[in-house]
Structure 1
């Protein structure tokens, strides 16, 4: 026993390796199985914070005291200044002439979350050193990094969510993406990777298996963050929005003589959906949308919104974690339930649908044409083009032929054709884009009805829930109408549907006694019941 103890003391004081922390990091960062962006982060943190402070230290000389001193230094100054007067924070590391952007140095600490990242890098590297027999004891085991920051999610409020949805749907394709983000809570990289083959709109299921990674200009397809292959149930409203999105996509592709393939991306700027959106660009567009509305938020906060609304609706934590793709509870749920379209997930989809803000109506615009007796050539040409647009010869969302071609096809000059197109814009039929093609705006007044949707529910759900047409009234005046799944005989279900509708419409729950919920079976005009909640 004495000899064993002496050996342990000897090995601790006399390391079995002379390798430095720099050498350890060199080998660890090459051999560790890390995702590309994670490895890039690790390399950056090592270069800026670990190597300058510990790089020449021998691995065997590390202990808890050295680690704690490192964390103290990181909390003092992120630039690891020499504590001398007259230092300057330069605007660039390149040679330059200093201006007002170069200021006297001010020490700023690293965030606690960043220090914890550095701790995890060293933890992984020293664990590997133990496997390689470079050290006998892992010195980081007794070190104390900063505690994990407390979660402080700040999702948009119900009123803000309604404003965001209304603004996003000014572009229906963009509105569909923002809506799906809000409903599912998916990360932006996951949304960019969804293909039409991943959507089963007949059964209302989204299969999520990939994500788009981005690091600067480099982009690649990868597994989801938690390496989960999960299926998410979609509510009826979301299915209808995706069907409309698919119809618009097919109209554009067919107008260009292309075919919408199953492996095409659902959200794409390419006419045939062959290229995915760029995650950073999606985040930037959402940020600009929020800035226009003067709402301080990011697209990642929509994950918080989805989780908050589900939890507020009574959905259990495991189901919420599974829908968001979180580890821990989400992973356990996926392992426990082989059929992800479970009763709990069906309830989750229906619950979130009732709490979503109402999307703006997409009815065709009413266009009033002036009483025009065409006399000049450009007016005759404008009327002819108007009739072709209304008849569907020129499809909405697609560009008109160039002005020169319009003139040539109608035996008119380019100037006459240009004045005719300007008149179409005045009537609201087309959208003029300086420097780009003119886009048709008019949509036929009779939209194509979406294909019927059938969602297979477990027997226990089918026995108690059904699709309902619901009308919310306040003091006798209709506030909103929508469709959702629920049990018309359950006061709890009806109250939940009513509360969700009041929140979406911007009403006050304190005035719930002023509201009533008229319940009809889907497609029926006869009320089943009228629900009035007590305060």
Structure 2
């Protein structure tokens, strides 16, 4: 009949009396089949009116391109994404491990169009409570599948929450996957963009202190080659994979330059491979004279071993190797485990990456500018990561800052009734020095005791000694000139 417009969508009555609403959305990009938005309304007095509302809502979603164009599940989306995404092999293995262990078992069968922020945030909360998603139910973790007699390894499950950083990594993986789905028009909106992941954890680097670092080096030097690796990790801040991939032609001992070009890793089959560094850029590090000497001695031992084996030196041989001829590099996990055993013997809570923290912390403590430290460590961003993650709080630097501030503070006012008591440590020190000046044991023009000497002699902090000197300076008994040692003031001063 002319002039009659065909209605979009359909409402069908089912044998049960329920109404099924169906609206054509387009062609499913995954299967190539026609895709419909459907919803069933239970039978009832207002079923027809509710069905019409659903049809109108579906039509609006289609017109505004807010509806999913596929019935594909999250598992299908993840498989497709892993086929096309271009990422480093080690990054891919890490992503696949997290997706297979945490995401696919829970969300994998869910249609992509049904993912929403509430579902994702509920999933994150579950992982933060227990990484095994036990739901609060007690059960026994069996180490053997099938019928068996439980041994000591079969133990009751204990909830262990997944760390906030791991949950955030899962969130950003899903965010990237769903963002690609939006570009492919599988879905209209990225639900991960509206979900809130856990707050980032506060960086807490814990490098070994200088005393522990000396103990670690001394213990490692029982095997000079292993000790050389630990020494180089401390002095250069190189990553373990970069040390494992280091070859002799990467060292220029005459010029004193070490070039870090590659990093070793284990592929999915456990084979040792090499790739670019983490930042995909080579970097050059200038070792100190002592480190150069350590590397010369290491090279000498390498040449001696080759002479005993009647083999010629090859510049492509590895610097650190478990083989006598250095033909094969270390596995990164071997370095981690051996260092862990060393730290355990010394009763030191440390791991191999902490040596990287140590290098950054000590350089910053020595006054090296952050950009230079970031360059040695291979960080980008102008040193932001270096300061935020690797620079541990330094009590020595903090004490220097406190002492500098204390030296510029005026003497603290003392009540008249307390001026003779000299109850504060710095007042007692000042009173003793004042008495020495008055008695002539410290004469005008004599060098005044250094702040460090005063602090050591009186067993006080450097800041307290600074305040004592500042008090005498304010009284005109001590002369302080920038760049020179303080002296006892002349009477006319």
Range of TM-score over shorter length: 0.5 to 0.7
Determine the C-alpha separation between the residues in 2 that align with 1:99 and 1:194.
45
- How far the C-alpha of 1:533 sits from its partner, in A, is 9.0
Q: Which of 109, 112, 127 lines up with 1:59 in the alignment?
A: 112
Determine the C-alpha separation between the residues in 2 that align with 1:275 and 1:240.
24
Give the structure 1 partner of residue 79 of structure 2.
26
Determine the C-alpha separation between the residues in 2 that align with 1:160 and 1:201.
29
Q: Which of 122, 140, 144 lines up with 1:88 in the alignment?
A: 140
Q: What is the SS of the residue equivalent to 1:245?
A: helix
Determine the C-alpha separation between the residues in 1 that align with 2:379 and 2:148.
46
Q: Describe the superposition over 1:6-36 as per-residue Cα deviations: whole angstroms up to 9, x where unpaired.
A: 8567557631221111110111122211222
Residues 1:197 and 2:249 aligned together: yes
Determine the C-alpha separation between the residues in 1 that align with 2:382 and 2:148.
53
Give the structure 2 partner of residue 123 of structure 1.
175
Determine the C-alpha separation between the residues in 2 that align with 1:19 and 1:109.
30
Give the structure 1 partner of residue 41 of structure 2.
none
Determine the C-alpha separation between the residues in 1 that align with 2:147 and 2:78.
30
Determine the C-alpha separation between the residues in 1 that align with 2:366 and 2:74.
51
Q: Which of 215, 225, 234 lines up with 1:173 in the alignment?
A: 225
Determine the C-alpha separation between the residues in 1 that align with 2:156 and 2:126.
20
Give the structure 2 partner of residue 448 of structure 1.
none
- How far the C-alpha of 1:532 sits from its partner, in A, is 11
Give the structure 1 partner of residue 378 of structure 2.
325
Give the structure 2 partner of residue 349 of structure 1.
none
- How far the C-alpha of 1:76 sits from its partner, in A, is 2.3
Q: Which of 212, 224, 239 lines up with 2:292 in the alignment?
A: 239
Q: What is the SS of the residue equivalent to 1:273?
A: coil
Q: What is the SS of the residue equivalent to 2:317?
A: coil
- Compare relative contact order (CA 8 Å, sep 6+) and give the higher one, 1 or 2: 1
Unaligned segments of structure 2, at least 5 residues: 1-55, 387-451, 453-459, 466-482, 487-493
Residues 1:226 and 2:279 aligned together: yes
Residues 1:277 and 2:341 aligned together: no
The answer to whether the Cα contact below 8 Å between 1:190 and 1:210 also exists between their aligned partners in 2 is: yes
Give the structure 1 partner of residue 208 of structure 2.
156
- How far the C-alpha of 1:317 sits from its partner, in A, is 1.8
The answer to whether the Cα contact below 8 Å between 2:258 and 2:284 also exists between their aligned partners in 1 is: yes
Determine the C-alpha separation between the residues in 2 that align with 1:532 and 1:200.
43
Give the structure 2 partner of residue 68 of structure 1.
121
Q: What is the SS of the residue equivalent to 1:246?
A: helix
- How far the C-alpha of 1:91 sits from its partner, in A, is 3.1
The answer to whether the Cα contact below 8 Å between 1:265 and 1:274 also exists between their aligned partners in 2 is: yes
The CA RMSD over aligned residues, in Å, is 3.2
Residues 1:101 and 2:145 aligned together: no
The answer to whether the Cα contact below 8 Å between 2:245 and 2:329 also exists between their aligned partners in 1 is: yes
Q: Which of 227, 235, 238 lines up with 1:183 in the alignment?
A: 235
Q: Which of 312, 317, 331 lines up with 2:365 in the alignment?
A: 312
**TM-score, normalization: structure 2?**
0.64
Give the structure 2 partner of residue 451 of structure 1.
none
